[in-house]
Amino acid sequence: MYLAVAPFFILFIVFGLYPTLYSLVLSFQDWNGLGDPTWVGLQNFQKLFADPTFYLSIRNTFVIFALSTFPMLVIAIVIAAMLNSAVRYSTAFRIAYFIPNITSVVAMAVLFGSIFGQNFGLANTLLHAVGLPAVPWLSTPFGIQVTVSLLITYQWTGYNAIIFLAGMQSIGGEVYEAAKIDGAGAFRSFFSITLPLLRPTVIFVLVVSTITGLQSFTEAQVLTTTAGSTNSGGAGQGGLTMVLYFYQQAFGFNRFGYGAAIAWGVFLIVVVFTIISWRFTAGRKEEARS
């Protein structure tokens, strides 16, 4: 029996527990991967707290997180509500909405890079066609953040809609019957029954979105990497997310010690904000009860 659970635990110790502890040790060291590491005490963390680029990466990450997560959750709930009342073709719709989630981030980032290109991109061509000025999507920091957010929203809205839909379908029909007898219309039922009863699902989706959103890497990395600029986050470092900054320092410049310190910094930020977003949604439950 121990033999059956052993493979996981061996892998976990070798590739999970040991590296995590080792990275804690590394964060107190200065090492470029060659030669001997030197012990520097808290220096990496002092540097981290004073590092303007780290703060910039935190800011970028949260801008992207806010721009993608909130529209995504609202649209996903609306789609789920529509799917919940539609009876025909629901499987076809669900598959269509889910497809963006299984297409690889790299391929979609490459595609979005072309759609949001400055001169010949589809987005600016369409804007031009309706008489609007071209938007510098990928050549300004905020433009990059918007494009990265659009990509994340594109890939995750349908997935979240499917989750919300499952949450909605687990709400019993009797509640709606009762509300109808009390004279509640469709919108009224949605806001006073569906949304409150959907809270556990909203908590789940928000927590997962926080964890993945604050650790976004691939979207920004692929969208901002050109032949001349690697891992720097593009124009004005607008696409430099926390994990991209970690990658740049650790593997672009071989700063293993400082990279480990960044990783722990990112971890703490993610933990704190996951708890906040959990409290934020779960906290309202207490209010509703009282």
Partner 1 sequence: MTVLSRSTTAAPASRAAVTRRRRRGPGAPRVVLYTLLTVGAVVSIFPLYWLFVMASNTTSDIYKSPPVFVPGPWLFDNIGQVFDKIDFGGALLNTVIVSCSVTVLVLFFDSLAAFTFAKFDFPLRKTLFTIVLVTFMLPMQLSIIPQFITMTNLGWVGHLQALIVPAAANAFGIFWLRQYILSSVPDELMDAAMIDGAGFFRQWWTVCIPLIRPGLGFLGIFTFIGSWNDYLWPLIVLNDPNHLTLQVAMAQLNTTFANNYSMVMAGALLSVLPLLVVFLIGARQFIGDIAKGAIK
Cβ-contact 101, 158 below 8 angstroms:
yes
Q: Which stretch binds partner 1 (CB under 8 A): 38-46, 50-58, 82-90, 137-145?
A: 82-90
Q: What is the CA radius of gyration of the chain?
A: 23
Which of 32, 38, 46, 103 contacts partner 1 by CB under 8 A? 103
From residue 27, alpha-carbon distances to 40, 168, 256, 274 in Å are 9, 45, 8, 23
Cβ-contact 46, 259 below 8 angstroms:
no
Of residues 182-241, those binding partner 1 (CB under 8 A) = 184-186, 189, 200-201, 204-205, 211, 215, 217-218, 221-222, 225-227, 230
Least distance CB 290 / partner 1 (angstroms): 25
Of residues 37-76, those binding partner 1 (CB under 8 A) = none
Its sign, for the CA torsion 60, 62, 63, 65, is positive
Q: Which stretch binds partner 1 (CB under 8 A): 40-48, 66-74, 141-149, 172-180?
A: 172-180
115 is an interface residue for partner 1 by CB under 8 A? yes
Residues in the chain: 290
Other Cβ atoms closer than 10 A to 45? 17
Which of 56, 79, 152, 220 contacts partner 1 by CB under 8 A? 79
270 is an interface residue for partner 1 by CB under 8 A? yes
Q: Whole-angstrom Cα distance, residue 186 to residue 198?
A: 16
Query: 222: part of which helix (H) or strand (E)?
Result: helix 218-224
Q: Which stretch binds partner 1 (CB under 8 A): 58-66, 97-105, 131-139, 275-283?
A: 97-105
Least distance CB 146 / partner 1 (angstroms): 16
Which of 65, 97, 116, 273 contacts partner 1 by CB under 8 A? 97
Q: Whole-angstrom Cα distance, residue 109 to residue 268?
A: 28
Q: 224: closest CA among 203, 201, 196, 247?
A: 247
Which of 32, 46, 85, 192 contacts partner 1 by CB under 8 A? 85
Of residues 128-147, those binding partner 1 (CB under 8 A) = 129
Residues 6+ apart with CB under 8 A from 268: none
96 is an interface residue for partner 1 by CB under 8 A? yes
**Binding map of partner 1 across residues 7-26, x = CB under 8 A, - = no contact:** xxx-xx-xxx-xxx-xx--x
Least distance CB 154 / partner 1 (angstroms): 7
